[in-house]
Structure 1
Amino acid sequence: MGSTEEKYRVILVDDEPIILRSLKAAIPWDDLHLEIAGEARNGEQALQLVRDTEPHMIISDIRMPGKDGISLMKEVLAENSQRLFIFISGYGEFEYAREALREGAFDYLLKPIDHDELIGMIMRAKKHLSKQQENDKLLHSVQVLSLLARERLFAEFIEGNQSPLQHMRWLENSELEQGYFMAVVQLDHYVKLNEQWSIDEKRLWLFAIRNIVSEWSLNQGGLTAFPFHSGEWVVLFPDKLSDRKISLGNDLIGRIKANTKLSCSTGFSQNMIGIDQLNEAYQNAAQALYQRFYSGQEGVYVFSESAATAIASEAKYPKQLEESLLECVRKLDRQQMLDLFDEMKGDLENQALTKEQAERIIVELTIVLYRQFEGMNLMLEWSLEGLLQEINSLPTLSEMIAVLKDCFGQWMLQSKENYSRGDVQAVIAKATSYITHNYHKDLSIEEVCDLAELSISHFCLLFKQETGYTFLEYLTQCRIEKAKFILQNTNVKVYQVAPLVGYQDPRYFSQVFKKLTGKTPSEYREEAG
């Protein structure tokens, strides 16, 4: 069989003769069952050579005098889109390489040329050509479903939309009737990556990962592989491979990381039968991936009934925890606040909520705490929107809690530093002096807080710490002391004393006076006299 196999034709294009000689000598073309159909020193020569020899594969320098590699490729592919281009580029030409991939290049290699890497690339290209030829032969067979239609069919069933595609059931492949399981591959930190990538970079990265997943799936005996949601891919395997789920997942994660430096996690479903169970298989795999939120690291997760039943149907908002955290902020009790965050993490883990449920609770608590800090005029380095976006971008519970502890903990430390002992004493002394000179007016706490440039809650906390009294207790004490002085040293009538010390109602003044001194104003004057 091997002797009758058609040799694929290759042409080499480079303006440096030494590179052409190196490529011809270092690559075992005969062993790869390839033949060099010709070589060219520039793009114009190469274009004529392509038309003369009709090669299957072109290995070309990306930058050459005159017509460069990308211009050459555009003209060649316009005439025959099935020819494969592998480009060689320098380190400073990455933008050219990216453009080449966008325009349809099979792959590219950086100088200096690693011949082993090039051989691997050529072997992949050869395999691609073989598959391409096989597909061409079967193109008109109704047994072969086009990739896009097949993916669309599977995607619709995964989404649970079966009725719109009943007329396509003839396309259904019997492979799913023999039993299968699903792997869902998700990029970790995808929200952050999506913000960082340009549109072209995103397209390039997702295209690269799709190629890796598809090629790997084919080599592992997978049934099909295709992108589902952005940053997520679905792979279907025959159920005979079900005892290899962990090793398959680890192998794929390692392959993606080695080729792209990006981390991902994989969730596996139970074994299923028939296309109608694609939706359930996806739900299985997605539920398995919930564990990624709690584990705090990339990994392989397999669906189990016990884990599924542990997922709460409805998340209960921790109102008591909210009150405790708010109290910590009011008291600037940093350590207790950090301990409560750890307690919250444990509670969420024990409830085994979905990422969405847990995140909703975290977001609500964050908003409440942020508003409390804001209301106390404490220094906030992040906007509320920025903080919520950061939480949303994190893939694990541990990272979310860590951000809350770091942000709120730092803000609390800064608040304490901003109010040293001397500063606090000076601010409260200013407030007590103001009360002493204005006790006879209709004095409000808002007025004093404005003077002190503090929120009401923060002022109350500091005032009580310094004086031992609440604002109202201190004001009342000050007014009664002034009343006692007037009663002892003047002949002002008792009912006239009340407005002199800030009380418009003489009866109420008498009640307050007796509560603090044990005597009515009249009794106090008689005993003092």
Structure 2
Amino acid sequence: MWKIAIIDDERQVLQGMKRAIPWQELGAEWVGEALNGADGLNVIRATQPDIVITDIYMPLLNGLDMIEQLRREGFQGKIIILSGYSDFEHARQALRHNVSDYVSKPISVPTLKTILNKVIQELIDEEEKLREQGELKHMIMMYEPFIEKEWVRSAAVGTLESAYQDRENLPRPYRYWADTDHAVIGIELIRDERTRKYSVSDWNLLRFAVSNIVGELSRKVFPFVEYTELHNTRSVLMIHPEVDSKESIQNVMEELGLRVMENIKSYLKMSCRVGIGGRKKSWTQIPESTEEAFRAIDLRHSRVAGGNEVYAFQSDFMQEQQQSAVFQVKFSYELATAIKAAQEMEAIQLVDAYMGNLVNGRGITSDFVQMLASELWGVISYCLYESGQVLDTLFTQEQIAEEIIGLTETVELQRWLTEKITIICGSKHWKGSSKHRQVVDFMTQYIHDHYAEDVTLAELSEKVYISRNHLSIIFKNITGETFNNYLTRVRIEKARELLRERNMLVYEVAEHVGYRNVPYFSTLFKKLTGMNPTDLIK
């Protein structure tokens, strides 16, 4: 109910308005009255009405002075002035105090009703605006950790806008970047016949496991690290050695790279390649180290240990191979982002700009064009795969392989990529799934960050503003499994990692990953891993 107070020195006017106002029709109620401005001030302070109807000329304190005092005290309610004195100066003062309406007495009932309807609609609109702002603030707070992660990823690949590239605009958790050096370790998972059969949720879980392994190993060596995934089988580990550290971190990074590779091989039965980027003085140069790390992998140069695929950056060799290092990581990341969001024109513009840079290079052979086509198609096909779309529904592997062999010049590659992007982004299935993919990405990341809590589908449905049943269908369509099943697998994967460390007892691990019932946890663990939790701590 909207609360209305009436202040007027004529008792007859007060009683007449109380009878004339259609309270029920307006959804309003009378909350107080006064015969002078001083008493009116006290009534309004005590009742905090939504609407005040007041006269101007009253004893003790006139209406305009009363309004001025209320505004100084922060009163935000609507004020309607009804006065027998109508002149420009009064109206001007009323407007200065943000009065909703100024009407001369006498006033008819229809006019009073019209004015009150208008003012109440203003209140409704303002309330709706505040509600929307509250929801927006809630969403911003909820998404803040994910926005922060996206910022880290952008800082790693070089997609931050220039306005963010100064110390003042560094997010608070990363202010220390301004006082350290920086280097990047690039990690590339190698898809084999076994992993090619993985579902989208399997890959999400695999990446979660990799992030756990890399995080645990790196934090034992370096005090400050950030790990972030790219939109493909690649990920980045950023380290930040002290500026006055005189020892070379190259060997330490190489040893860490070897341990990462060995642990991924041992625990996940999967191979990977590791590249070591150069040390940089400024955090704005981190993308350069990222490029160097993955160029070292791509060019298979300076292998650290025989038989192990760890590669180190070498500046003189990189300069000779400049044509193959034209913002490759940044470009592939931006291209993947645009395609995942079904932004056809942005994706095509990225391709055009990238090919323009290549044309300015020298010695581009047909072999290089075909190699680049294969690499870029890998990025595109991974986007298709991540969004739950079977590649063969648009293109067959045989078709793509045959077309790539026929590409000999950059202009042909540019035309071929543009054609494929247009077909993909124009697909009805792709357009329909791109927003759903973003929702599921948020959900899986939320699970990875909050698996130890009581995470429910109902809770997430409120966060993404999609009904629980619809959200359940979306998650199942994109990932191929139910929300609860995926949550269970994430928890068990984290439990397996903790048990291997042998620092916690079984019941402690169970509680750490969200299970209070230890027998139930043990049953789930054996069902998903084929072994008892105690088998890993013996």
Give your verdict on TM over 0.5: no
TM-score (norm 1): 0.32
Larger Rg: 1
Highest relative contact order (Cα 8 Å, sep 6+), 1 or 2?
2
TM-score (norm 2): 0.31
